[in-house]
Each structure stands twice: as structure tokens, then as C-alpha cells.
Amino acid sequence: MSGLELAASLAGLVSLGMELCKGITQYCMSYQGAQKDIELLHEDTNALIQTFESLQNAMQDSTLKLELEKSVAHIFSACRERVASLSKELEKYIEPTKAQSKRGSISIKARIFYPFQEKGVQKLRDDISRINEILQQATGSVLIRQNNKINDTIDRIHDSGELDKIKDWLLPPDFSTSQMIASDKRSENTGSWFLESEEFVRWQDSPCSLLWVSGGAGRGKTVLCSTAIDHLIADSEHQRSSAVAYIYFDQTNQSVSQDHNRLLRSLVQQLAAQNATGSIPAPLKSLYSRSQNGTRPPMTHDLTNTLRHLIETFSPCYLVADAFDECKEKQAFLRLVNTIIGQWRIPQVRFLVTSRSELSSELPNRSWKGFTLSLEESNNGDVRSYIETTLESPGEPLNAWDPERRKSIAKSLIARGNGNFRWVACQLERLRECSTNKDLDETLEGLPSTLEETYERTLAKVEESRKSSICHILRFLCFSARPMRLDEMSEVPAIDFEAKPRPKYCSEKRLVVGKAGYFNKYSDLFSIATIKAGDEEYSELRLAHLSVRDYLLSTKILTSPVSYFYITELSAHHSIAQACIVYLQQFGTGDQLPTYEEAIFETPLTLYAARFWFHHVQASIKAASQQSSVATAYPTGIDTQQATLIILIIQFLTQLLGLLGVEAPVLMKSSGVKNQLLDLNQLCVDFLVSQGQTQIRFFDPDTPWVEKPRASTTPGHAGPSPLYTAAQAGFLDVVRQLVRQGMDINSVGGRFGTPLQAAACKGYTDILLFLLKEGADPNLRGGDYGCALQGASRYGQEACVKILLKAGVDVNATCGEYYTAAHAAAFHGHAHVLKLLADNGADIHILRPRDRAEPLILAASVGHLAVVELLLSLGADILTRDKDECTALDHAAPAGFDEVVKLVIAHDRACLKTSDRLGNTALHYTVAQNFPSVVELLLQNGMDPNLGNDQGRTALHSAIRTGNIEVIETLLRYGATVNKKDLEGWTPLHLAAYFDKPEVGQMLLDTDGSIIDIPGPNGYTPLHIAILRTNVESVKFLGNRGAEFTNCLRVFDAIDGAAMLRNFHMNYISPITGLRIAASYGLEVQLRDLLEGEADINGTDEGGRSALYYASRMGKNSIVRFLIENGADVNAKADDDESFMDFWLDQDIIDLAYKHGYIDRPGVLSDEGDRAKEKLKVDKLFEYLGGKLPADELASYQFQYPQDS
């Protein structure tokens, strides 16, 4: 039989077999309940149906189909004959039973009507069983592979959910929108020359290579880059082993973070998402685990290492970065490039970078070569294509001109464009305004020669009435702290910057309608982008191109007629700071304040102003210190004495022109830096004194991570004073002025307690010295950290610590969250500060009362290797224990800190013999986490895997719940005993049945198959436990491995069965770290510290339990409130489907949860959902048990368990 014939015949056999089974099933259903042998025939037929269905599903997979055809070739004839014979036999009885089938079921007295006699039924059963046996033997291995594929798919789906969770933790910037926008700008064949160029082809073919593409502003680098990315992505679709990751440096789009750490996060996330198996790559899992399962942000060096390991998993691996010249952290990025190409030398990596600058100027001393390509002449063809495509596009206004006119337009633009896309785009805008032949001819004849001249002409056309508004809006867009929305920028015209004595807000001048039209008039300068963020859609105002910013900040504009628009960093930040403060001052106090929601819609600039006003004041102060008065105006050779004289003359002339009502030139204005700062400082003082609390409704600088702060002050603290806010923000001159006005220098309020402590925490030494000189008490108690020394130590402010120690503070003062300054420095990893404290008499052996923890234990618990090394060198005892009798090893190992574990063991191996007050060792805790390398480390160093705790449970018992296969394999490899019982009789296999881990059970039985029916608690076998828990998959697994089903339902007779399981559940080891331990113990200050460090408030442990869950379970209502108000997900569920609402909560907390979007789900605050869910599980269980138990035994429990359980 040919392959084609066999394939068709196999499909026919499956189809015929399904029809046969359907007929037998229908016949059996007609006589259901009347005779036992008919019921057995029905069961046998169902088993054959399952085999045929499996074959049918497998035939959908082309690979498995070929294997099936080979498998059944030798048994095909015999199987087909048996099926055909059965079909003919069935036909004898179909007609006689049609009338009888309408009766439903009949009693045993009706047996005379059965067309089948007992002997005939038995023959049918034998034939069906034989067909099933033949098919199972021939195709069993193929069907197992099919099942494995299904399981792999399920695993991938599970991993995709985990990957989403890790992505939420990474918070990588998304460059896909930038790529899409750049791609949309391309015309057909744009960049084809680049893809075919010798440089690009050689770069693709060369191992560990870099291609650096350089070109001036407007040369189309970004469009060319997008062309390359699309080309590489298309190539990678044909190579499953390849990957492409890209980043766009774009200072006109601040929606995308330019922070180097976050750029690394994006590269890591992009590569991880392209893993060929669809699962989470091991390097990313390791990164997540080492960051305490997402409770702290990834460190830059960890991200770099993870990136290396991910690159190594692909071949080739393309990395693309556009517009390097716009990168804010250039040196960090160049180090990364040099590391990847020059140090790692991974053969499969290819790096493409575009930039205005050349490679030789950016990395002149590199030890490796790179491919380079200049765009100065190379892209003329692309510009020509862009012009011609635009002119011929349907709907293009210029397409309305006749062909000769269009040809004339193209010729002029091509001739004068010189390969500059941006210049061409600007001129097209001008030409679209032409309506007559004369207009068109004059415009073409008078085209500007450069981009700078283009911008100059646009600025010169700005109406006098709009000059001030446009200038200040440009300042915003050049130096804003985040992207600006169109609605926000529409408020700027309402600020009168020329008003005396200070700027003021005039609501009647704000843009109300036609906002987009206001800016579209200056399309060379501005662009409007539509942004979609979740369910929200809004418009963003941006600079049309980075070259706009370049021109406004360049010295070229100073000698032009539009010098009014010249921008410096100082003038921009000064202007924005004024705008923010003046805008907030419009609200006054009390009832005049809008709510948070009202502010978003009615006064759009409020949220930006409240969050960033002090940022722009700080930036103004910094810029002023760096900007020398009229430095740009001094000719070369001017000495200090001459410069001073020039400054005095310019200041005099500026004042004279002001008196005459004449505006001073820009160069003369720049000499008024000091006056600018004096005005700004006074504005700050007035604002803080009269309305300083206004901003807290919209943004609280004490809790900057909270998007929507509470209207009240930080819980547990009085409101901050103006002096406190000024000290926290680093405004020295404002602090001086407030002190001169008599403000209380030792007032207590705010998160940091006192102005002195606020300055110490933030590292403002000048303010700290001033406050101490003015009489501030350095030992005054208050705030999260109790005193200034602990606060400075917590933030690692070494210079401030020195100043405070010199001022005579008590180095061992006990107060605040961490108890002593040494504890604070140790917990946050500031070894240099801890050494300074110790040198000045700090006691490193002090036990913190609440948990009896020394600094050593705190440092080990968060993995600060350098601090642990320092403390051990200073004489810290490695065997010191906290209140739970846990050592540094017990804290470091479960958190996955390999290097700390190695250090601790090397220092004193006696730590391997310790156990806590419940008899648990470090191994007991570590196996419950996802750190197989640490488990291996402990076992390698001699830790006993069979040592039981006070309940008799070994490390293997502890490992079952999370079910980490690698951890369990490691324990078994080091001799863990699988049949060891705890004091209640639980073996690891019982636990695998309890937690429904059939894959773990498989490993245990492969080690020792004799434990399949081992009696445990109350004499229950693992099968009993699985049935009692209605864990259907475990029941099936144990059944397939030969577990004894006789009397297995007797467990339902034991009233205490469920209670016994619940008690065990509550006693189970569940080590927690980071946010979750802080939540469990009610440590609100530590929670704030972790959130300030960008910890993920919704990070979970291996069981899917978040900090909110732990706070609720431990009855910490105030912490539950804190977490909800700080953005915790109120709808998050653990892996066992529990949520924080499953525990006893105060009514006001429940109300708060609903206010923050909590959605009722079945089973919460109601038993109905639980009962429905349980009934579904029970139905599945009894459906399976129907093939294993006698009907009478099954029937006696079938309808009782859901109610009695």
C-alpha cells in the first residue's frame, strides 16, 4: 500500500471506527441501567472512542501523522477487518432497536427484548477491547509525544503569564511606537541601497561586528534605521534561532525613558520575548529571582550580565540603536558597546548604531574595528524617492498642480535638498500654502538654503502677541521633566511673564478651542502626537524635530533677527519653574483647591506643576552655578579684571534700557543671572509660606512613588513646614530666607521629621551646615528614621554622616525604623558609611528589640556582600541568632544570595549545623524557593537532606509545595529519602498528592515505586489524600501508576479529614522576603523605603502571594490601607485563588478596596462560588472514578460529598 493510500485509509479507519462507536453507544444508551453487561460494553466503547479521538487529534499534526502512518502499517489490515466485522454485526440490531430506543431505560424484567444475548455482548466487548489494544500498542509512543506536546503548550501558556508578570516588574520602555512611526514615513524602496551596500552586507556576515552609520541632522537616519530593523525582523522569521532588539534615542519623545538602566531592561525584555520555546529564558528567571522575586528593581550590572546570557542563546542576535547623539547617558552606552564588541566577543552578536557623530570620535581608543558608513552623500536617492512619492500621492495637496509644475517642484527640492529629509519636509509645508503660480514661483525661488534659515523664517513670522507664549512653550518642550500634553501646554499662554512685580496667571488667556490649530500654524516647530495608554487616549505636543532644539540652543540664533527665542538651560528652567509656581498660586487655599480628578480636566497643568516645580528650581540653581555671566560674549584673552568691568557695564546698560522701556538684547539679559535667582527664590518663599501645602493634594514629595497621594499628610506625622520642604528640595537660599524670617528651625513634621534630617537624607551638606550653625538640634527625634544620623546612614550620605558625627551626635542612638544608624547602613548596603560609623564607636553587636537582629543579619538578608565582609572583619559573630533563632545563613540562603552563602560558610562551617526554634535549617527554607544553585551549594558543603525539623519534615517535604523540579532533582541526587514520614505520617508523596504535583510524584515513584500505597496520616494513602482534595490530575496519575482503589472513598467517612488538611496547610513553611516580610510585620517605614527604591508593590512569591495578601493574612489593617493607597492591585489572586479579601478586614478597608476598583468574584464573601467550584471538581473526580470502582460503591458517595465535605 502506498503512503498516500495508507494515509487515506488511516483517515477512513478512524472515521469508520468513530461511526461504529457512536452506533454502539446509542444502542447501549437505549438500555442504560437494565443490564450490567450492557453497561460494561458502554464503558469499553468509551475507551475505544478516546483512542480514536486521540488518533484524530494527532493526525492534525503533520509530523505525528507521518509517524502514525508508519506505526499502523503492519496492523492496518487486521484492525480494519475487525472494525468492518463489528459494523456488520451492529447493523443486525440497529433496525429492531429503533422503536425500543424511545423508551429511555428499562427494568431487568424487560430482558426478553434485548437483541444481544449475554454471549453476544461478551463477544462485542472482546472485539472492542482487542481493537483498542492493537491500536494502543501500535501508536502508544506517538500518542505519548502528542500528550507531551499538549503539556508543553500548557507550560508555555503558563510561562507567558509569568513573562507578563516579569515584564510588569521590569517596566521596560516600549520603542515599538517609534519604530512604527519611522516605518510609516518610508516611501517604497527607501533604504534599499543601504541594505544592499557593501558595509551592511559585510556587517551581517561578520561575527561580533558593529556598523556605525553617521549623518547630520535631517539626513534620514531614523527612517533608515527602521528600514534595517524591518529587514532584520523579516530575516529572523526564517531563522528561529535569531533575534532582533532595538532602542530609539529620541529627545523629542520623552514618553520613552532614556535612562540607561531602563534601556537595558528593554533589550532584555525584547530578547526574552523571542525565546524559541516560548518559555521564560533561564537568565531572565535568574534575574527576577535575584531581585527578590521582583520586590526590588534590577541592578544595572545584573541587567548587563543577563543581556550577555540572552545574546548567547541566539544566532545571530541583532542589536540596533538609533540616534546615539540624543542619548542622555552617552558614556554608559559607549561602555556597553565596548563591552559587547570588545570584551565579550560573542560571535553571534551584530550591533548597528546611527548617530550624527562618527565612531572614531566617540570611541577613539577602542581595540577593535568596526564598519562605518556616512550618509552625507549616500541617501540622495532616498530623498529623491521621498519627494517624487509625496508629489504623486493621492490626497496630497501638491498633487493638484499639473505634471510640469510638479516636475519643477521636484527638481528644485532635489537640487537644493542635499540629501536632507528634514529640510525637504519643511519646504513641502511651505509649498502647500501656495495657491497661485506666482506664489509657487516666488516660494521656489526663495527657498532657504539651510534648516537654520528655515527655522529663522518661521520664528520671524510669529505674531507679536504670541511671541512670549511661543517662546515659553518652546522652553517647556526643550527642558520639561516629562512629555507635555497638548492640554497642559494650552495653559501656558494664560501666564503673563511680563507682569510686575512677578508673573501672574490670567485664566481668560488660556486656549479653550482650536488648540491644535494654534500650534499647527508653526508646523516646522511643533508636532502633535496621539498617544494611547491603556484605555486613555490623549494628544502630546512635541518639537517637530531635534534640530529645532539644536537651533534654539545654538549661538547662531544670537546674531539673527529672532534672538528673542534664544534658549539656555537656565532661562528654560527658570521660566518653567515660574510657570509652575504661578499656576499653583491661582488656587489660593482651603475651598479653592480642586480635587485630584478636577485638576486633571479643569486645570490640566496642575499635576505637572505640583510634581515638578521644585525640580525646575533645582535645575535653575544648578544651571546658574555653571553658567558664567555673558561668558559667550567675551572675546579671547579677556582677563578677570576686564571681565568684571564688562559685567558691571552690561548690568548698568540693562538697568538703563529698562528704565527707558527698551528691551535689552539677549546677550545683555544673560548677565542678570543673580537677579533671576533672587526673583525665583522670593517666589518660592512666598509660595511655601502661603500655599506650601497646596501641592500635597496633587503630589507629595515625601512619597514620590504615589501617583495620587492622600489629601492628608503622611500617616503618623505632622504636616511639613515650609522650611522642611525647602531643606528637602535643596533650596539653600530659600532656607536662609525662611530662617531669617523667624521660622522654627527645629519644627517636627513630614516623613523625615525635621528640616535637618531632610537635608541629611537628601545629601545637602550646605543646608546641613547652615542649619547646624543656626542652632538646629542634631539629636532631635522625629520622622521615619528617628534622627538625622540614622536618616543619613540609611541613604548612604557619607559626607552628611561626617558632619553630624563632628557635631557630636550619639553614634549609637536608638530610634526610628532601623533602631541604630549601623542597622540602617547595613540593611541598605552602605559599607563605606558603616565603616565610618564603626570607626567612630558604633556598636555592631546591638540587638534590635523587635526581632533581636544584629546589623550582620540585616545585611545578609538582603544580600549585601561587601557589608557582610566588613562586619565579619570587624568581629561580628556569624552564629548570632535573631528572635526566631535564625542565623545570617538562614536569611541569605532562601533569598538566593550565593556569594553571601559562600562567604558565610567559608567563615565558619558551624553555621551549617544550626537550626531555628522550629528545627528548620537553611536548607528547609531554601528548597521552597527557586534557587537550585544555593540548594546545591548547601548540599555540597555537607548539609544533611534528611534532617527533620521539630515536626519531622525534611527538606524534601518542604520542596514539594513549590514543586521546583531542579531543586527536587538535586535533593534526590544527594540522597534525600522519599519514604520518610513526619510526625503526622506525611511522606513527600502524600504532599505531592495534596498539592496536586503529579510531575513531582512521578520523580518520587521513579526513585522508589514501593511507596505508591504507603499509609500516612490517619492511615490515608497518597491516593486518599488526592481524592479528599479532589485533585483529579493526581488521582489519575496515581491510578496509572497502580495505586489501590479498593475502599478509596472511605476517606469521606472521616469527619476530621478536611480539618486535618487545613491544619497542615497553616503550619506549612513559607519563607518571605522584601515587601512581603515588611507587610507581614507591619513595617510601614520599610515599605516606604522599598517603594522609594522602585520595588514592585505587586510582586509575588512562588505561590503568587503579594505584600497585600500577607498584610491582610496577618491582620495588619493599617498596612493593607497603606498598600492599597500606594497602588497595590486589589484584584490580585494567589495561585490557590485566595485574595487579600479572604481574611478578616475592617469595614473601612473593604470600602476602600471597592473604591480602588475591587471586583467581587465567586467565592469571596460568599459560599456559593466555592460550592460551585467544588462541585465541578467533584464531578470530574467521580467521572474518572466511574471506570475504577463498582457502581454501588460510587453511588453511595456521589451525591453526598459536595455537601458533607
**CATH level 2 (architecture), domain 171-377:** 3-Layer(aba) Sandwich (3.40)
Nearest to 876 by CA among 897, 900, 907: 907
User: Is there a contact between 993 and 1014 (Cβ–Cβ < 8 Å)?
Assistant: no
pLDDT of residue 422: 87
Residue 951 pLDDT class (50, 70, 90 cuts): very high
Residue 1111 main-chain phi, psi, to 5 deg = -60, -40
Confidence at residue 1168, expressed as pLDDT on a 0 to 100 scale = 53
First and final CA of the chain: distance in angstroms? 58
What class does CATH assign to 464-562? mainly alpha
Amino acid (1-letter code) at residue 800 = C
Q: State the Cα–Cα distance between residues 153 and 385, nearest whole angstrom.
A: 47
Residue 1005's pLDDT is 96
Residue 221 near residue 210, CB atoms below 8 Å: no
* Whether the predicted pLDDT of 87 surpasses 60: yes
Contact 1030, 1037 (CB under 8 A): no
- Helix, strand or coil for residue 256? coil
Three-class SS state of 60: coil
Q: How do residues 381-431 score in pLDDT, each as one tens digit?
A: 778 888 888 898 888 899 899 999 999 999 999 888 877 888 998 999 989
CA distances from 79 to 2, 67, 134, 292 (A): 18, 17, 7, 58
pLDDT digits (tens, 9 = 90+) for 734-753: 999 999 999 999 999 999 99
The per-residue pLDDT for 1193 is 67
pLDDT at 158: 45
Q: Which three cell numbers stand for residue 980?
A: 520518610
3-state secondary structure of 1167: coil
Task: Round the average pLDDT of the chain to a whole number and report it.
Answer: 82
Confidence at residue 1133, expressed as pLDDT on a 0 to 100 scale: 86
Mean per-residue pLDDT, 911-924:
94
More confident residue, 705 or 1005: 1005
Q: Does residue 207 register a pLDDT over 70?
A: yes
Q: Is the pLDDT of residue 553 over 90?
A: yes
Beta strands 349-355 and 317-322 are parallel
Q: What are phi and psi of 378, to 5 degrees?
A: -70, -25
Span 574-626, pLDDT tens digits = 999 999 999 998 886 656 667 777 777 889 999 999 999 999 999 999 988 87
CA distance 988 to 979: 7
Asked whether residue 912 carries a pLDDT value surpassing 90, the answer given is yes
**775 and 741 Cβ atoms separated by less than 8 Å:** no
pLDDT exceeds cutoff 80 at 296: no
- For 868, the enclosing helix (H) or strand (E) is helix 865-873
Distance between CA 84 and CA 82 in Å, rounded? Answer: 5
| pLDDT at residue 572, as a whole number | 95
Checking if the pLDDT of 157 tops 90, the result is: no
CA angle 10, 16, 19 (to 5 degrees): 145
Give the residue from 936, 938, 931 showing the smallest Cα distance to 913.
938
Confidence of residue 106 (pLDDT cuts 50, 70, 90): very low
Whether residue 1178 is predicted with pLDDT greater than 90 in this model: the reply is: no
CA pair distance 365, 1145, nearest whole angstrom: 64
CATH of domain 1070-1156: 1.25.40.20
DSSP letter string, 217-240: TTS-HHHHHHHHHHHHHHHHTT-T
Q: Which CATH topology does 700-704+719-843 take?
A: 1.25.40
Domains 171-377 and 464-562 share a fold: no
Average pLDDT over every residue of 832-848: 97
Show me where the domains of the chain are located: 3-91+118-144, 171-377, 384-447, 464-562, 568-626+641-671+683-696, 700-704+719-843, 1070-1156
CA angle 214, 216, 217 (to 5 degrees): 125
Report the percent of the chain where pLDDT is more than 90: 46
Only one residue has cell 525640580, namely 615
**Res 286: pLDDT:** 83
Q: pLDDT tens across 1116-1170, in order?
A: 888 899 899 888 899 988 877 788 988 878 888 898 899 888 987 654 444 555 5
Q: Is the whole model's pTM more than 0.85, yes or no?
A: no
Contact call for residues 826 and 834 (beta carbons, < 8 A): yes
pLDDT tens digits for range 11-68: 666 666 767 676 766 666 555 444 556 666 666 676 677 676 666 666 655 555 555 5
Q: Rank 446-450, 713-717, 819-823, 1082-1086 by mean pLDDT and report only the highest.
A: 819-823
